[in-house]
């Protein structure tokens, strides 16, 4: 199938998981979702990633985000792997891991790249909004663990820029200055939206304190 792109609707599916059968759109409801894939169970990098995701459960929850993992290994393997993750990473995996043994989800989301990993999923990340729209995609090689601080940072940016007419500049972190959209030119609206004022570095580059802080 064609590669999924930003703005596309995330494909719906029903698949087995460590939390029971999941109908994806119904399960996600009105939440943001981070759907991320793993090459295989009982692999070292994946084990650390799933442990980190579990450790960040509070950070995901306060942003209204549901994480969900996927691997092409079967459910019984996942169940045993979760015990290993909890033991080695000193956490409790409290989110579903899809058992995609028939590669249904991997195929829908183009997670198998034969020139990289012949039969397993690469490290894909899809950040999906409450309307089931794909907002961010990231793909890592099998050898490189993902940076979940960056995933949270992207979610913070998406949620902020959805609710205010701003964009986030390079290396932005929550609480930092943001950029007023160039399309916003009406002085009265600018004053109303950004009562703390702004600094015009250039007419097209106007920095203002983060408006929801």
What's the mean pLDDT in 48-64?
97
Beta strands in the chain (DSSP E): 14-15, 22-23, 32-37, 65-71, 97-99, 123-128, 134-140, 166-167, 178-180, 199-202, 205-208
pLDDT value of residue 68: 98
Question: Distances in Å between the alpha carbon of 23 and those of 44, 74, 97, 126, 151?
Answer: 29, 17, 13, 17, 24
**pLDDT > 70 in the chain, percent:** 95
Domain that holds residue 131: 14-146
Q: How far apart are CA 161 and CA 122, in angstroms?
A: 29
Q: What is the pLDDT of residues 71-96, one digit of tens each?
A: 989 999 999 999 999 999 999 999 99
What b/e sequence results for 24-61 when a residue is b if at least 16 CB atoms lie within 10 Å of its CB, and e otherwise? bbebbeeebbbbbbbbbbebebbbebbbbbbebbebbe
Alpha-carbon 20 to chain mean position: 22
Helix (H) or strand (E) holding 190: helix 187-193
The last residue of a domain, from among 146, 172, 196? 146
Alpha-carbon 46 to chain mean position: 16
CATH code of the domain in which 65 resides? 3.40.30.10
What's the mean pLDDT in 7-19?
97
Residue 156 lies in a domain: no
34, 35, 46, 151: the catalytic one is: 46
Residues, the chain: 213
Residue 3 lies in a domain: no
Beta strands in 44-122 (DSSP E): 65-71, 97-99
Q: How far apart are CA 88 and CA 146, in angstroms?
A: 18
- Same structural domain, 122 and 177: no
What's the mean pLDDT in 40-44?
90
Q: Is 22 an annotated catalytic residue?
A: no
Check if the beta carbon of residue 75 is closer than 8 Å to that of residue 18.
Answer: yes
Which range among 58-62, 116-120, 190-194 shows the weakest confidence by mean pLDDT? 116-120
Residue 129 lies in a domain: yes
- To the nearest whole number, what is the mean pLDDT of the chain? 93
What is the token pair recorded at 178? 């943001």
Residue 6 lies in a domain: no
- Same structural domain, 101 and 183: no
- Same structural domain, 97 and 200: no
Say whether pLDDT at 117 is over 60. no
pLDDT value of residue 141: 86
pLDDT value of residue 157: 98
Say whether pLDDT at 112 is over 70. yes
Strand partners of residue 167: 179
Which range among 37-46, 119-128, 142-151, 155-164 shows the weakest confidence by mean pLDDT? 119-128
- Same structural domain, 199 and 94: no
What is the token pair recorded at 47? 């084990």
pLDDT value of residue 114: 63
The last residue of a domain, from among 93, 112, 146? 146
Which range among 56-65, 108-117, 170-179, 192-201 shows the weakest confidence by mean pLDDT? 108-117
């Amino acid at each position: 199938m064609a590669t999924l792109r930003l703005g596309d609707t995330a494909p719906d599916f029903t698949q087995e998981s460590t939390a029971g059968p999941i109908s994806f759109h119904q399960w996600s409801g009105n939440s943001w979702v981070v759907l991320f894939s793993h090459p295989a169970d009982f692999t070292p990098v994946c084990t650390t990633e799933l442990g980190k995701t579990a450790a960040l459960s509070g950070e995901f929850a306060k942003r209204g985000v549901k994480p969900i993992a996927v691997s092409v290994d079967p459910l019984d393997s996942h169940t045993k792997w979760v015990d290993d993750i909890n033991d080695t990473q000193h956490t409790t995996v409290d989110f579903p891991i899809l058992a995609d043994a028939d590669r249904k989800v991997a195929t829908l989301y183009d997670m198998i790249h034969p020139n990289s990993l012949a039969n397993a999923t690469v490290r894909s990340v899809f950040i999906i909004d409450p309307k089931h729209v794909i907002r961010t995609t990231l793909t890592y090689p099998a050898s490189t663990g993902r940076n979940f601080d960056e995933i949270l940072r992207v979610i913070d940016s998406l949620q902020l820029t959805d609710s205010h007419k701003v964009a986030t500049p390079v290396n932005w972190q929550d609480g930092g200055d943001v950029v007023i959209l160039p399309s916003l030119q009406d002085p009265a609206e600018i004053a109303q939206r950004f009562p703390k004022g702004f600094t015009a570095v250039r007419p097209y580059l106007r920095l203002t304190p983060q408006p929801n802080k």
